[in-house]
A and B are shown apart, each in its own frame.
Chain A
Amino acid sequence: MPQIFTASADTRLRAGMLLLVLAVLGAGLFIGGYMDSSYATLVGWTRSQPVPFSHQHHVGGLGIDCRYCHTGVETSAEAGLPPTHVCMTCHSQIWTGAPMLAPVRASLATGKPLHWNRVARVPDYVYFNHSIHVARGVPCVTCHGRVDKMPLMRRAHPFQMGWCLDCHRDPGPHLRPPDQVTRMDWSDWDEHPQDHKLYGELMVKAYGIEPSKLDDCNVCHR
């Protein structure tokens, strides 16, 4: 009876197993890296928009408060996109002939809304509510970044669960006084982190925030 296995069969088997283990590890590393890369999180990417609206100009340059356009942010889950009427509050008088704003004028004339492409988006299984975050003093800049420095809107942070939980598990240091929520460049406490820490601790108590419950699944997923 001939030999079933050649002399090198053992070595080949071991090499094969080693390759398999390396492949699984490599795949894990690759997928993990991919999920954290800006390809998956879209951090820093701009999207093409019907009008190249500049937050840098309107927020940084003119100093218009976020709530002038995003009127729902204090009272509802959605911050709200301004209707064309809001754009035309100023642009009925200034830059009235600018070709860049032609889609805005067309929208007002026809009643057809501008089709903006969404930049800050969480998946449908996340029930994010703007009003409660703003009411408790989580500033806009924490999630949306320095929009006053963005000529074109881009995502500033990876909207991943780990990033949400970082704050949910320790909300105190992220809270600001309510009248500073929309300020982009607020730095009063940067030199006195102790004040900020103390304020956060007091507010967590005052508002009855329970960090131990803030990472329950059903806080965000229903």
Chain B
Amino acid sequence: MSRAARRPAIALLLAPLLALALGPLLAACDDEMSHQPRYDSYEPSELFADGKSLQAPPEGTVARDEPARQAALDQRPAMSAGLLARGRERFGIYCTPCHGYAGYGGGTVPTRGFPRPPSLHEARLREAPSSYFVDVITHGHGVMYSYADRVSPADRWAIAAYIRALQLSQNAPLASLTPDERRRLGGGS
């Protein structure tokens, strides 16, 4: 065998060895498999003037689920334990930072300088219809921003229902309690 013919043979033997040694090193780099030529969420794009790959829909676009959302917003769901549980959870996420867990307006954010929101237990808000709370969540009120992008229409009704439960919890007349419940309160019958 000539020298020239032997060289490819040696290369063939060495190639797998090299691949074995370099493979993991190459994999450690940001290769094409790890960064595929596609847009991930929020990735910048040079295609559009504003540099975003996540384009906002053009003005006047109607989302496919818009009628369903509107219907959920117009129609007040039936009161149920499930609705209240959902409302309690959503209230805890989106409302308590300002309104506090009991709804008096003593959340952590107002203690840091945000204007204190009104208590949910004042007469004006006790008498307001549930749709008022849904409307405030949807459009915002005063310094409160709209939460329409964070709280779905069905969840807005759930929060409104939970606000009703909160209000009742702070204003329940004694006469509405059963003797057993009164005993548990320690007041006797």
Contacts and interface: CB of A to CB of B under 8 A. Distances in A.
Interface string B133-163: 0000000000101000110000000000000
A123 B29 CA distance: 11
Contacts of A35: 24, 28
A78, A80, A88, A90 — most chain B CB neighbours (10 Å): A90
Contacts of A95: 113
B35 interface: yes
Given A62-B108, A62-B112, A123 B97 contact: no
A45 interface: no
Nearest to A61: B108
A56 to B, nearest CB: 14
Given A35-B24, A35-B28, A179-B89, A63 B114 contact: no
Contact of B34 (A89, A93, A124): A124
Given A64-B97, A68-B94, A125-B36, A24 B50 contact: no
Contacts of B80: none
Interface in B93-141: 93-94, 96-97, 108-109, 112-115
Interface in A65-90: 65, 67-68, 71, 78, 80-81, 83, 85-86, 88-90
B185 interface: no
Interface string B22-58: 0011001000011110101110100000111000000
B10 interface: no
A166 B152 CA distance: 35
Nearest to B44: A115
Nearest to B29: A40
Nearest to B95: A68
7 contacts: A31-B21, A31-B24, A31-B25, A64-B108, A78-B41, A124-B34, A125-B34
Contacts of B94: 68
B108 A63 contact: yes
A124 B38 contact: yes
B145 A68 contact: no
- Interface size band for B: 20 to 34
Interface of A: 24, 27, 31-32, 34-35, 40, 61-65, 67-68, 71, 78, 80-81, 83, 85-86, 88-90, 92-95, 111-113, 115-116, 123-125, 179
Nearest to B111: A62
Contacts, number: 75
Nearest to B42: A81
Interface string B82-100: 0000000100111011000
Given A78-B41, A90-B114, A112 B28 contact: no
B158 to A, nearest CB: 14
B149 A85 contact: yes
B146 to A, nearest CB: 9
Given A62-B97, A124-B34, A179-B89, A85 B108 contact: no
Contacts of B109: 62, 90, 94
Contact of A68 (B115, B143, B150): B150
Given A90-B97, A93-B115, 20 more contacts: A24-B17, A32-B24, A63-B96, A63-B108, A65-B92, A83-B149, A85-B145, A85-B149, A92-B143, A92-B145, A93-B143, A94-B109, A111-B50, A113-B42, A113-B52, A116-B42, A123-B35, A124-B36, A124-B40, A125-B33
